[in-house]
Structure 1
Amino acid sequence: MTTHEQAVRGIAAILVSDLHLPVPEQVTVFVYDSRRVFERGLVNDANVSPARAAELSDFAIGIGKRRQLLLNDEGADRAGREWLRLIAHEMAHVCQIELAQGEGLAEQWLAEGMAEWVAFRVLERLGMDSMERRRTVSRSGIRNHAALVAARLDLETLGSPRGFTVRHRKEGSLPTYQLAFLMADYLIERDGFDRVVEYFRSFSRGQDRQGNFSRAFGQSIEQFEREVLAYLKSSVAP
């Protein structure tokens, strides 16, 4: 997978065959060669507001939109593990949007956590990583995360795209994404990947955030927050 086209096609095939995700028949891939050009592309090609594009391009190097993948490949190792992880992560967002028939509708922490879970599964399938190693690294990474130290995850804030961005820029991007991955991983282990997929699909029928979560997982977001906080604290205990 040494070209963008090979990477996107290869990863899409794994998403369909292994995870049964609805990859659109056509996904337009935009590749930019610098942060500045990437920022302009978010505005011109993906209809992102200028303010949001400036914010996103400051920390993101890839964005998955409705049947679009936008990548800033400045300095990218196109055959490297992290570049393939990024493409798989953003392709997972493309699939989530396809399921929900819209962007930013589901809980953002679950959208990001599931996208990381999918990306790690892809890397495992390619023989480049393992889920167990990622779990171990993530548990170590969140041990001193502010949310665990304060014993308050605040999924209400992490549930919106804007809130998630504010939190990860304040508390650290890597540990916040590791936290999202571990919460999604816990939910997938408990209820199954298909249930999470159906949760995203439920937004195509109605945009009740609380109701869709409760119907999919049998508990409120607040109840899940208490349950997963206890799990996370026990899993990172020395």
Structure 2
Amino acid sequence: MALVALVAGAGPGEAAPYREYEVRLHEGAAPPAGDLRSDADIINAVARLMRDKLGLSFPAVTKAYVYVNQASLVDGLLRIAGETSEEAWDKGRVAAGVATRVGIFLRGDRLAHMHLLARAGLFAHELAHVSQLKMREGGRGRAAQWILEGHADWVKFRLLDLLGMQAYATSRDEVVRSIVRSATRPKFFPGLEALTGNARWTSTTKQLGPAATYGQAFLAVDWLIERYGSAKLLEFFERFALDANPQEHWRAVFPIPYRQFVDECRARLEGPTLAPAEVSPAPAPPSFPRRP
């Protein structure tokens, strides 16, 4: 990834990022985690592993824009990504990162307080969304929000494993632990069928916490991939680029009816495999340096 611009001060009305990177996907294998010294190094390594190990594709030009704070991030979403004011504020109000068709938009003030593990996870999650946008380009509709977010977290946890930062099983255990210990019991979580749109997803996350949305969605995608493989899920995403009825895509790819899969996920979520007695104590957090 190349450092394209470092802007000390933008003119009136301009939304220039103070750091702008362009992803370089063709410069060899990703270095080990211990050699990742900058955000550019991390994003490059993450993107290459996503392409080489997980089969994900990206637009010909993919950039990362880093902004000073919330207001400048929202301004960048308006001016560079072409978001509407409502969309930009909805996405930028609480997020540390936002994915768009032109790349990822990041809050530098949030990144400054993240250690390496958290930054790598954030970059992987948002770049997964960029790839999802690329796969459905030119088509009709989009996958349900729970599938998009669950897949982005699945990619994040796989990348942390590939980088040697945290084992996938450890990440999965942490998700299970967050659900079991949630203030809201899993049987009171809204079902996956209720988490298909962004508005309900956002309101549920605010009301019940991320375990009810991100946690539940990740486990569902983890189970889906465990059963049918990640290539099938990518095939499903790619079908949204077709000029076809989006309601037909699940049936065309997966042998299990959508309703049956959702019901089975619910049963597993509320079943004994997620009982508190099955959850091991939380391990000590990994020791990674914070960004200087």
- Give the alignment's TM-score, normalised by structure 2: 0.75
Question: Secondary structure of 1:59's partner?
Answer: coil
Distance 1:223 1:209, change over 3 A: farther
2:19 is matched with none
Say if 2:69 is the partner of 1:34: yes
Distance 2:69 2:155 in 1: 27
Q: Which residue of 2 aligns with 1:3?
A: 38
Aligned equivalent of 1:95: 131
Gaps of 5+ in 1: none
Task: Tell me what 2:88 maps to.
Answer: 53
Alignment of 1:1-238 (within 5 A): 1-77=36-112, 80-101=116-137, 105-143=142-180, 144=182, 146=184, 148-150=186-188, 153-206=190-243, 208-234=245-271, 235-237=273-275, 238=277
Change (3 A) 1:209 1:169: farther
Deviations 1:138-170 (A, max 9, x none): 1111124747223x6432331112221122122
SS in 2 for 1:31: strand
Worse-superposed segment, 5-14 or 106-115: 5-14
Change (3 A) 1:38 1:157: same
- Number of the residue aligned with 2:18: none
Q: How many residues align?
A: 237
Q: What is the CA distance between 1:172 and its match in structure 2?
A: 0.9
Q: Which runs of 5+ in 2 are unaligned?
A: 1-35, 278-292
> Aligned with 1:29: secondary structure?
strand
Indicate the larger mover: 212-221 or 19-28.
Answer: 212-221
Displacement, 1:105?
0.8
How far off its partner does 1:57 sit? 1.6
Distance 1:80 1:55 in 2: 27
For residues 111 and 171 of structure 1, the distance between their equivalents in structure 2, rounded to whole angstroms, comes to: 19
Instruction: Provide the residue aligned with 2:26 in structure 1.
Output: none
Structure 2 CA distance for aligned equivalents of residues 153 and 209 of structure 1: 23
Structure (1 or 2) with the larger CA radius of gyration: 2
Percent identity, please. Answer: 28
CA change 1:115–1:211 in 2 (3 A) is same
* Alpha-carbon displacement from aligned partner over 1:20-73 (angstroms, at most 9, x marks no partner): 111223102211011111111111121222122222222111111113111112
Taking the aligned partners of 1:219 and 1:19, their CA distance within structure 2 comes to 23
- Indicate the larger mover: 210-219 or 101-110: 101-110
Give the AA of the match of 2:255.
G
Change (3 A) 1:232 1:145: farther
1:122 deviation in Å?
Answer: 0.7
Q: Which protein has the bigger helix share?
A: 1
